[in-house]
Every structure is written in structure tokens, then in C-alpha cells.
Structure 1
Amino acid sequence: MSIHAFRMQLKPGVVDEYKARHDAIWPELAELLHASGIRDYSIFLDEETLSLFAVLKLTDDNSRAALPQHPVMRKWWDYMAPLMEVDPDNKPKEWALQPVFHLA
């Protein structure tokens, strides 16, 4: 299992809506993420900068790279696009985070 971390960016004034949408995550999306090998997925918010920091574990046989082609993932990105900085296809912009310390 590997750990993947990245940053995303919220638009101003949407923190409550972003949280509400994730509190009510679609069961089919949660199932898709799990089936794709994503485990222990957390997103943290820096309220000062509106930066989101995501950390997830990936199984060795994960299929995360195929998610952008899945209709449920595309639908979720379209749903979330008004709240975040996104690419032209509505995929949330991601900035990779490099590990610098880990205490097991």
C-alpha cells in the first residue's frame, strides 16, 4: 500500500457547501473509490487559504488512473466544479505534496 497526498483549492464562500456535499457522498462514488483501490481517504481544510489537503492510501493493484473515464467520477466532478478550481474537463486541479516526514 502506498500513500498519496495532494492539495486542491476551494473558491471563497463555499466551505459549508463543500463539507455538506462530502457528508452526503453518493454511495456509488464511495463504492467506486473503494473498488479502485482507494482506502483511508481524508481531506483537510486550511481555513485561512481555502486550501484542501487530501491524503489517501492506494492498494498495490489500484486502478486510480482509470477514474477520470468513469461516468460516476465525471458526474461528481461536474457537481463539485462550481466550488473548486478545476481543469477544463472539471477535474479538480491537484498539486502533488511531497512527503518530508513520517512517524510510524
Structure 2
Amino acid sequence: MWQPQSPTEPPKSPPGVEGAPPPRKRNPGRRFGQVVKLKPECADAYKACHAKIWPQVAKQIKDCNMEDYSIWYDDKTGLLFGSFKYLGYDFAGDMHRMAENPKVREWWEMTDSFQESLVDGATSSEAGEPSWWRSMEEVFYLA
């Protein structure tokens, strides 16, 4: 029977298993799309704050396994469309960590004041559920 090696010896594979275990595969990710309405009188302020996103907020987004985050604006309808890719393994846990960051909550308070949620019963980004941004279903993607 295979026995673990002493802590002073380099680890050996069990009989019949060659080499080290394969590295954990990177999560291929899940893409998200969301929409919210921007108050027309706040368009310039919203664009200005995102042009100079607070470094703590940008870092927290990345630390919570989100990448390729972008927000699009349609000035005719006032809609903001956000999309990002989530590469982590615990979305709820990462979003909880995001909400624990005081700078992120401050950012949400500021940006929520520029927006109108399209979700019935939503009160703020910080409140969590229901979500401030309306989630959208991805119906097509061509890589």
C-alpha cells in the first residue's frame, strides 16, 4: 500500500501515477450582461467618474475575479449596458467580498444616484437583492 513520504523527502507519486497532478484548469468564465437607466441630467457626471474610476474600486473588481468589464451608454434611451466575464469559482462569495469594501459601497452610493433601476423593488446596489442592475440573458455569442 502507498504511504505518504516523510516531510524531509521530496513528494513521490503513488504507484501507477506519473508526475505531479495536473494543474487546476482555469475557469473558462461566465459572461454577464446587465442594464440600468441613466438619469439624463447625470450623463456627464457619470461618464466623468468612470473616466477616473477609484483605484480601490478597480482593484476590488479584479480581486473578485471579474474581467473584461465594460459599460455602454445609449443617449436616445438613457440605457446603460454593462458586461463582464466572471472567472472565479464562488460568484456569491466574491460579490459578498465586493460589498464588504467600504470604498465600493461609497462608489455604488454615488453611481446609484445617477441611475434609475429597472428592477421592481430594487433600492440600491448595496442592498443586494433584488439587484439594482437588471440581469439580461445572453442569446448569442461568437468567440
Please classify the TM superposition score into its range, dividing by the shorter chain length: 0.7 to 0.9
Larger Rg belongs to: 2
Q: Aligned letter for 2:100?
A: Q
Cα contact 2:64–2:88 (8 A) shared by 1: no
Name the structure 1 match of 2:136.
97
Instruction: Give the TM-score, by structure 2 length.
Output: 0.66
Cα contact 1:2–1:58 (8 A) shared by 2: yes
Bigger relative contact order, structure 1 or 2 (CA pairs below 8 A, ≥6 apart): 1
Mapping 1:60-75, distance limit 5 Å? 60-61=88-89, 62=91, 63-66=93-96, 67-75=98-106
Work out which of the residue numbers 56, 79, 104 in structure 2 matches 1:28. Answer: 56
The alignment-based identity, stated in percent, is 29
Q: Aligned letter for 2:99?
A: P
Taking only aligned residues, the RMSD between alpha carbons, in angstroms, comes to: 1.7
| Alignment of 1:42 onto 2:81 | no
Question: Secondary structure of the residue that 1:13 maps to in structure 2?
Answer: helix
Consecutive unaligned residues in structure 2, runs of 5 or more: 1-28, 126-130
Moved over 4 A (4+): none
Could you tell me how far apart the structure 2 residues matched to 1:65 and 1:34 are? 12
Could you tell me how far apart the structure 2 residues matched to 1:15 and 1:70 are? 26
Consecutive unaligned residues in structure 1, runs of 5 or more: none
Work out which of the residue numbers 108, 112, 137 in structure 2 matches 1:77. Answer: 108
Could you tell me how far apart the structure 2 residues matched to 1:5 and 1:14 are? 22
For residue 94 of structure 1, report the CA deviation from its aligned partner.
1.1
Q: Which has the higher strand share?
A: 1
Name the structure 1 match of 2:13.
none
Mapping 1:44-59, distance limit 5 Å? 44-59=72-87
Q: Which has the higher helix share?
A: 1
For residue 21 of structure 1, report the CA deviation from its aligned partner.
0.3
